[in-house]
Structure 1
Amino acid sequence: MGWHRELLTGFDLETTGTDPREARIVTAAVIEVRDGEPLGRREWLADPGVPIPPDAVAVHGISDARAAAEGRPADQVADAVADVLTGYWQTGVPVVAYNAAFDLSLLSAELRRYGLPSLRDRLGGREPAPVIDPYTIDRTVDRYRRGKRNLEAVCAEYGISLDAAHDATADALAAARLACAIAGRHPKVAALGPAELHRRQIEWYAAWAADFQSFLRGKGDASAVVDGTWPLREPAGEPV
């Protein structure tokens, strides 16, 4: 039947910024999806403990005042999200995240920031897996397609409705549906088991990063470095 017809878990974060080492969680969503249809969801609003920059507010609409008044402490949200995700991994359910290296690395940084057990700690030392990242898969199976590769653009390419972009729940559902649509269009992706697909994405992301780094250096940026680690970049050094 294929993994895309089975239970999947869509995951998304909306945050204070674009650097996963420094940005904080503002909202989070985890949504169960089977054959593209939502079954249940969990949502969180955090008080990130730092001012939310105006450009981030413009993206997701969560103000400092609302986060302070309605949000849970950031450490509690990070802990709860990590527990939910690791619960799915422990039962073999894939977690789907668009540009997973951002969301999972940011969550990992938050756990470290608050002295909480890492994702690996919660999984008894094993890697968080399987992860399915429509961004990485689409960029590989349709490498030469022109245009943007953000969630809205790729949803449009595959006919996935995304009415509230940058709402964590809407984005998590769209990511899961997009994974199903990509598998439907590309039978070779659908035929891979989740564990093998996870392994392939590690290779695909590393290959893309190496190519992009070469491109940047060829354009004159001799010091350009593109991290090819997927899906989780563990934070280094002291928490920021």
Structure 2
Amino acid sequence: MNKVIVIDDDKELCFLMKKCVEQENYIAMIANSGAEGLRIASENSDDCSLIILDIMLPDLDGFQVLQKIRQTSNVPVLMLTAKSDEEDKVFGLRMGADDYLTKLFSLNELMARVHSLIRRYTQFNPVSCPDTDTLTFQGMTIDNVNRIVEINGIRAELTGKEFDLLSFLASNKGSIFTKKQIYNQVWEEEYAFDDSNIMSFISKLRKKIEPDPEHPFYILTVRGIGYRFNGEA
């Protein structure tokens, strides 16, 4: 059964989120501080499918918690913020958040995001054509079932969105995509689209997969248009 960890100091909101999550047959675990949330996340790393993380916490802020989570885990993180400031959203996405909700949000919207993120992460329907289960290129293997990427036999530690981005481009190798097309395909929404956001994700991904990030081999820039995965890889 999927575990969802909620890290928020608003106890009343936590109670409501816990109730909604459990009604959908997920196990909900609550933490009211960043330190407590990190402890629970560490103790349940093997079977945690999603973390709901508030930015404003009494000890560590949500960005600090996210940074520590990303050092060891690729679990999807849905961030909550009381601000509508786009800078906070873009900053969190660049640090590895997978999605954002601005308070006050409806519980229906919350659960729609929860379902979507867990579905992508756990791959509920892993049975598919063997050609798409694993993608193999020069020095790179992408396991779409277990969401694992290896470069020359060494595992690359990617966030959920970084994996989605790489898998999308690699599955369409040789095809050129604009930043807007990439955002719509990988994020499936337009609420926080920004050219610099995509560029930041590409840059971080290249540092993790490219032998020489300054001279990319896998993800190539098509000047004035966007990006493509090297068709010769």
Shared fold (TM-score greater than 0.5)?
no
Shorter-normalised TM-score: what interval? under 0.3
More strand by share: 2
More RCO (CA 8 Å, sep 6+): 1
Scaled by the length of structure 1, the TM-score of the pair is 0.26
More helix by share: 1
Scaled by the length of structure 2, the TM-score of the pair is 0.27
